[in-house]
Amino acid sequence: MEKLEIKPELTSKMFEVLGGMWITGCVKTASELNIADHLMHGPKTISSLAQETDSQEMQLYRIMRALSSVGIFEELDSKTFALNDLGATLLTGVPGTVKDFVLANMSEHFPAFADLTYSVKTGKVPFEHVHGMNLWDYYKKYPELAANFGRGMTGLSGMELQGIIQTYDFTPYKTIVDIGGGNGIMMYAILNSSSESSGIIFDEAHVIEKTIQLIPENLKARCSVATGSFFDKVPEGADLYTMKWIIHDWNDEECIKILKVCYDAMPKGATLLIIDAVIPDESQNQPHIAKLLDIVMMACITGRERTANEFKKLVEKAGFTFHRVIDIGTEAKSIVECKKI
C-alpha cells in the first residue's frame, strides 16, 4: 500500500481556513472598539486610534495590520489606517451593518460553535449544553444581549429588503400580516412599496412594546400591531402572511405547528410567504451561504436551513399548496410562496 502523504499546499490551505477564526477574533475587537466609527471622518494614526479607544498601541496595531491584510480597513503610510467599503460594514447603526451580528456570534453564540460535536453525537443543541438554557430563554434573561441580537438582525435585513421589494409585487394585497415581525422594518418597506395596503406586525408583547414607538409617522394610519405567540394564534382574515427568518429557527415538528396555526387563521385564497435561505436541491460539493447558516442553526437552536423539496414537504404537511421559490438576488434569502387553496 502506497504511503499516504499530504501535500504541503493542502496543509497550507487548511491553515488558511483556520485563519478565518483568527481574523474573526480581530473583527470582534474592531467592533467592540468601534474602530469603523472612529475612522468614519478620515484616516487616523494608530496612536490616535489607541488613545481614542483607550487601547495599547502595539496590540491595536497588530489587530489592525491583520485586518487590513485581508481587506478590512486599509493601512496607509506611517501606521495610519483608513475606512474602506468592507470596514464600513462595522459602522454603528447604518443600514447593512453586520457589527451587532458579529458581536452576538463572537460572544454568546461562539462557545456553541466549539461544541458542535455534542450536536453530532446527541442530536441536541450545543447552545443549550453550554449555557444551560435555550437561546430564547437566554435572551429573556439578558435583555441587553437580546437588544444587540435584534439590532444584528435588523442590520442583516438591509441586504435582502431591496431584493424582496423589487422582486415581489405586494400591491394586490389589501391586508398583510408579518408574523414575528420584530421592529417592523420589513413591514415598513412593504407598505412604502404598496400604498393601498395595510399591515399588522405580529410578535410577542415585549417586542411589540418597542415596535409601537418605531412606526413611521407616514405609515401609522396603515400599520398596526398585535401580540401573541405564533404557536397559539395569529391575526385572522388577511390575504397575505409573511414570515422572514422564522421557519428556519425551528425543527420540522415545531414548524408544522406554526404553519398550521397560520393556515387556520387564513381565508381560502390567501398567500403565505416564507422568507428564508433555500439550499439548492442539487448542490453537492458547491459552496452556498445557506449551508453555513445551517451550522449556525445547529449550534444555537433546534432549527435548520432547508432545500426547496424540504420546504415543499413541510408546507404540504400543514395543508398549504407549495407554489414556487423566488430568487431575490442573495443566497441568504429566497421567497417560498405558498397558497391556501
Give catalytic residues, as residue numbers: 248
CA–CA separation, 155 and 178 (whole Å)? 18
Which DSSP category does 93 fall into?
S
CA distance 167 to 17: 35
DSSP secondary structure of 138-171: HHHH-HHHHHHHHHHHHHHHHHHHHHHHHHS--T
Rounded CA separation 225/236 (Å): 13
Type of residue found at 286 = Q
CA distance 239 to 226: 16
Is the distance from CB of 188 to CB of 226 less than 8 angstroms?
A: no
Per the structure block, which three cell numbers stand in for 241? 402572511
